[in-house]
Amino acid sequence: MANVSERTKFFTESVIRRMTRISNEYNAVNLSQGFPDFEPPLELKEELQKAALNGPHQYAITWGAPNFLEALAKKQSRFMGIPIEPQKNIVVTCGSTEAMMAALMSVVNPNDKVIVFSPFYENYGADTILIGAVPIYVHLTPPSFSFDKKALREAFLQRPKAIIICNPGNPTGKVFSEDELLYIASLAEEFDTWVITDEVYEHIVYRPHKHTYFASLPNMFKRTISCSSLSKTYSITGWRLGYIIASEEVINAARKVHDFLTVGAAAPLQEAAVKALYFEDSYYEELLSHYAHKKELFLKLLDEANLKYIDPEGAYYVMVDISEFNVKDDVEFCEWLAREVGVAAVPGSIFFKENIQSFIRFHFAKKDETLLEAGKRLLRLRSARKRYV
Ligand code: GLN
């Protein structure tokens, strides 16, 4: 019998998404895979209804429907502070997941090196394996999750083709400062390296922190491939609308990759989402205060449960320190937590290259009542653990 490919042997199915299935099995409060349990804006659902009735129902133009591209170019130019041409600088993808994969495939060759900060978002591990690249991991040290400048320079000395920056960071909640980004920019320039950014949490950055778009740093637009999506900003993770923004040269390559990977993102969903891209500034301010409130509420519940955590600067995740439980296997711990305490988390070890079993990741993109229920259950964590050990 023929074997499955070698490349599929080096990574497992997504643990984040497996935790959702485990959570469902035990009827736990699912704070593992990051997606809201509240509704997207009503106007968007109305637009979707209109699109259902009036179309389009056939393929959109491969790299994005013209009205979607135009609205997205306007919105991103406004926030990124750089001119973006709808027909030259954008490819619309099936979520940021495809955007990242297409970005990597567009600029990285097999056996090229790619710098990945650790901890890193789970997908980057599989992404680098699937494109045959060799990751160089650079440690981000908790609690600030900052990098050692010397270590990063040493990584660049290995001549990587690209570096991946997730900002604001998943799972860390780290927001890179402008100084940190300028240092990375100087290395990227010196070593002629592509910079691939994952900025899906661009609008969820808690004050006084500020999001800096890497592409907007001096001279960086030409070497940055900015990936993001509408999933988190408009609470539509299931619509799978993402995009790549880059120079025309990169976009010409990315268009080809995307064309053969997926043909295109769903046409009726692009049509409906145009409305969101024209939302005014007040929408983004409300989104931020909505998440600032959720963060405050959830951190208070963690305090009440006497759990230690790293206060996130952005995104909607929090790394909880479980070192007091002397966990040998945090995957097993998270399964136990879902089963016996009724709250699902993601084992932190899946995000680290290093063998670190002392964190679990919760997300707080949930209704207040859901978070309160999780908080109530977490109060029982210690006594349940004592019975278990
Ligand atoms: N980005 C979310 C997370 O980290 C969901 C990922 C996914 O399943 N696509 O949990």
Residues 50 and 31 in one domain: no
User: b/e for 265-296, b at 16 or more Cβ within 10 A?
Assistant: bbbbbbbbbbbbbebeeebeeebbeebeebbe
How far does residue 1's CA lie from ligand 1's centre (Å)? 35
Question: Residue 385 — very low, low, confident or very high, per pLDDT cuts 50/70/90?
Answer: confident
- Nearest atom in ligand 1 to the alpha carbon of residue 97 is 9
Only one residue has tokens 């990285």, namely 108
**Contact residues of ligand 1, CB 6 A cut-off:** 16-17, 33-34, 97, 170
Predicted confidence (pLDDT) per residue in 266-308, tens digit: 999 999 999 999 999 999 999 999 999 999 999 999 999 999 9
- Nearest atom in ligand 1 to the alpha carbon of residue 121 is 4
Residues 271 and 292 in one domain: no
Q: Which domain holds residue 373?
A: 6-40+282-384
**Nearest residue CA, atom 3 of ligand 1?**
34
Residues 219 and 365 in one domain: no
| Phi and psi, residue 359, nearest 5° | -130, 150
Residues 377 and 299 in one domain: yes
Predicted confidence (pLDDT) per residue in 245-274, tens digit: 999 999 999 999 999 999 999 999 999 999
Only one residue has tokens 């609690």, namely 143
- Nearest atom in ligand 1 to the alpha carbon of residue 32 is 10
Between the alpha carbon of residue 27 and those of residues 22, 338, 373, 381, the distances in Å are 8, 8, 12, 16
Spatial CA neighbour of 122 closest among 17, 272, 4, 275: 17
Residues 273 and 305 in one domain: no
Give domain status of residue 212, yes or no: yes
d(CA 264, CA 246) in angstroms, rounded, equals: 18
The yes-or-no verdict on residue 389 having pLDDT over 70 is no
**Nearest residue CA, atom 2 of ligand 1?**
34
Q: Residue 181: how many CB atoms within 10 A of its CB?
A: 21
CB neighbour list of residue 191: distance below 8 Å, 6 or more residues apart: 156, 157, 159, 160
Residues 252 and 357 in one domain: no
Residues 217 and 98 in one domain: yes
pTM above 0.75, yes or no: yes
Choose one of 19, 127, 170 to mutate for the ligand 1 pocket test, by most ligand atoms within 8 angstroms of C-beta.
170
Q: What is the CATH number of the domain that holds 173?
A: 3.40.640.10
d(CA 333, CA 327) in angstroms, rounded, equals: 7
Q: Is 325 exposed, middle or buried (0-12, 13-18, 19+ CB in 10 A)?
A: middle
How far does residue 33's CA lie from ligand 1's centre (Å)? 5
The reported pLDDT for the residue numbered 342 is: 97
How far does residue 271's CA lie from ligand 1's centre (Å)? 24
- Nearest atom in ligand 1 to the alpha carbon of residue 171 is 4
Q: Side by side, which strands form the sheet with 308-310?
A: 308-310, 317-321, 359-363, 346-347
Choose one of 21, 237, 316 to mutate for the ligand 1 pocket test, by most ligand atoms within 8 angstroms of C-beta.
237
Residue type, 43: E
Residues 35 and 113 in one domain: no
What is the rounded average pLDDT of the residues 325-352?
96
The count of domains in the chain is: 2
How far does residue 237's CA lie from ligand 1's centre (Å)? 9
- Nearest atom in ligand 1 to the alpha carbon of residue 170 is 4
- Nearest atom in ligand 1 to the alpha carbon of residue 200 is 1
Give domain status of residue 389, yes or no: no
Residues 83 and 134 in one domain: yes
Residues 26 and 97 in one domain: no
Predicted confidence (pLDDT) per residue in 147-173, tens digit: 999 999 999 999 999 999 999 999 999
